[in-house]
Chains A and B, each alone.
Chain A
């Protein structure tokens, strides 16, 4: 009898373990869960979690379930690099994503090069990541700064030809280069620049710049501030009456679901070029947004949407390649097209940058309404990556 029991339990255990015999695909998510960018990290996590839930429920990737391993990058490249190494060598993840600030993406990309693994970013929009700093192991599925400003410049050309533009940005690399990129494009469509000022990051009080702003008498203000800085700038401009008669344009990260409530009425009329809006009228987006709202009690923004779309691309690549090793997946990702809530995205083989339709979005009544859209090929800009 005892032998029988032993045999039965052994067989039961073998059966049970065979259910787990199919190895999971491990994906590392290295994103800021604390610190200034925690709000963005939260959207990234919501987006990725939702996509994994859907993919796993539908059978996973080639029959294998996805296992997510989260690490907090604290928006500090030094921390990100250490944790990336841990994810690659100790946890043995097959793929890594989630980095938010460009410095972290570039540094983690270097770790990925040395570990021969692939990473993708869904947030960083510095042009360098798929431009001068490109790498064969780094992919980007979100729109970069260049794409955003093409969309916005097209709107400017049509709606306000020959406008006088004043620029205000945060004084760091991202802030300055975003302003510089848009300025170049705006001037090429006929706008005149009447001045620029760069405020230190985390400035409390923007009222000190309003004097110069008023003196320049612009029609349009372009700004690349983000997060709390946007809240302060916009509400203070409103308080001081500076925004009257001024059309305000900005980068895609300037007004998002994270800060639009805090800005309130002062965000009315804000226009930006961005890769996503909750109001995109497609069945994918409606399904995505409804599920997102139900799971998280908040609207998705571009970070949530781009993060959601990423793993579907990875799934398609792995299934097309029939393997998870770096070279096969890289080859499969290059040139891949897949469906996302924003429409069809295609990863350009030359620089690993995703091409997608871009939208000019205007904030009306606290909603991100779509003013016009621009085809992916027109928005993407030239391939400046020469490293592979």
Chain B
């Protein structure tokens, strides 16, 4: 009995708590992806590269002397114009005409390739890492967890709630959902659809950048880092339901816990295939995911 409790306290509980910190990271990346898909029907294969740009941006700006806390707000704001330009000049061109999913997927795939190489040219191939602004560990219910990860869980929760509020409770959010549901109708009601689309894409991209800044101190920064999260993010978006914010949250927490526990109980190598298996099962039996889509019941 004391063995079991000790196992629960020193092995399982920390594992789950860390899974939660990882889950929040994945949710932040996946949120942007689900908004872009749910609102724009655009598959953004370069989402990982925007995440990387956020991290590298934080690196560059902190070298210029900006304080880390400032960067958390500054980097996403700077990514908004990048997102708007990308949407306006690239994505919009393949919008109409054939299969939007396929063409945006392919287009952003090419964009991702270019972005990765550009990052390597500008910053070099080596790894960098901004200093952890909250070193040290705190004790939570007998489990030691680094303070920064607690901060991550906290700020992740704040961001998620803020995003949900904006999308579901504000007039702006309503306009965006209307434009996603029926573009022409929304336009005829006076919604500036063009701006809404650019704004939504930029918002999704800014969220990815924010994730990049927040995760840089613990996951480090290097040109191919975009590949880290992308598969997991897509899995979370699919399982949660493309376009659903709560779906992303629930699926994000669920899948990272599945990964953490199967890594512990079975073997680390099987953790990813198991998560993939969950995705396949969900797709086979409930393809719209747990919560379906924004704008659709």
Interface residues of A (CB under 8 A from B): 34-36, 38-39, 41-42, 171, 197-200, 202-205, 207-212, 214-215, 227-228, 231-232, 235-236, 239-241, 258-259, 261-264
Within 8 A of A (CB), among B153-202: none
The digit string for B5-45, where 1 denotes a CB below 8 A from any CB of A, is: 00000111011001101100000000000000000000000
B132 pairs with A258, CB closer than 8 A: no
Q: What residues of chain A lie closer than 8 Å to B269, measured between beta carbons?
A: 171, 198, 200
Q: A211-B14, A212-B11, A262-B126 are in contact. Are A232 and B144 (CB under 8 A)?
A: no
Name which residue of chain A comes closest to B128, CB basis.
A262
Cα separation A42 to B227 with both chains bound (whole Å): 22
B222 pairs with A207, CB closer than 8 A: no
A231 pairs with B218, CB closer than 8 A: no
B127 pairs with A235, CB closer than 8 A: no
Q: Is B66 an interface residue (CB 8 A)?
A: no
Supply 21 A–B pairs (Cβ within 8 Å), ascending by A.
A34-B117, A34-B120, A38-B125, A39-B124, A39-B127, A171-B269, A198-B269, A199-B268, A200-B272, A204-B22, A208-B19, A232-B218, A235-B129, A235-B218, A239-B132, A239-B137, A240-B144, A261-B126, A262-B126, A262-B127, A263-B129
Cα separation A199 to B124 with both chains bound (whole Å): 27
* Number of inter-chain CB pairs below 8 Å: 103
Say how far B145's CB is from chain A's closest CB, in angstroms. 8
A239 pairs with B146, CB closer than 8 A: yes
A208 pairs with B125, CB closer than 8 A: no
Q: Is B135 an interface residue (CB 8 A)?
A: yes
Interface residues of B (CB under 8 A from A): 10-12, 14-15, 18-19, 21-22, 117, 120, 124-129, 131-132, 135, 137, 144-146, 148-149, 218-225, 227-229, 260, 263-264, 268-269, 271-272
Q: What residues of chain A lie closer than 8 Å to B117, measured between beta carbons?
A: 34
Q: What residues of chain A lie closer than 8 Å to B124, measured between beta carbons?
A: 39, 42
Contact of B18 among A207, A215, A263 (CB under 8 A): A207
Cα separation A41 to B125 with both chains bound (whole Å): 9
Q: What residues of chain B lie closer than 8 Å to A42, measured between beta carbons?
A: 124-125
B14 pairs with A210, CB closer than 8 A: yes
Contact of B264 among A171, A211, A231 (CB under 8 A): A211
Cα separation A34 to B116 with both chains bound (whole Å): 10
Q: What residues of chain B lie closer than 8 Å to A208, measured between beta carbons?
A: 15, 18-19, 260, 263-264, 268
Say how far B232's CB is from chain A's closest CB, in angstroms. 9
Q: A34-B120, A239-B218 are in contact. Are A262 and B15 (CB under 8 A)?
A: no
- Interface centre among B125, B218, B272, by most chain A C-beta atoms within 10 angstroms, is B125
Cα separation A193 to B154 with both chains bound (whole Å): 39
Q: A207-B18, A215-B10, A231-B127 are in contact. Are A198 and B135 (CB under 8 A)?
A: no
Cα separation A23 to B137 with both chains bound (whole Å): 65
Contact of B127 among A41, A200, A259 (CB under 8 A): A259
B125 pairs with A205, CB closer than 8 A: no
Contact of A214 among B10, B220, B229, B271 (CB under 8 A): B10
Say how far A99's CB is from chain B's closest CB, in angstroms. 17
A215 pairs with B11, CB closer than 8 A: yes
Say how far B251's CB is from chain A's closest CB, in angstroms. 18
Nearest 6 interchain pairs by C-beta: A38-B125, A211-B11, A239-B146, A262-B129, A262-B127, A207-B18
Name which residue of chain B comes closest to A230, CB basis.
B127
Q: What residues of chain B lie closer than 8 Å to A171, measured between beta carbons?
A: 268-269
B148 pairs with A239, CB closer than 8 A: yes
B127 pairs with A228, CB closer than 8 A: yes
A236 pairs with B218, CB closer than 8 A: yes
Contact of B268 among A41, A209, A235, A236 (CB under 8 A): A209
A231 pairs with B148, CB closer than 8 A: no
A211 pairs with B224, CB closer than 8 A: no
Cα separation A228 to B149 with both chains bound (whole Å): 19
Name which residue of chain A comes closest to B135, CB basis.
A239
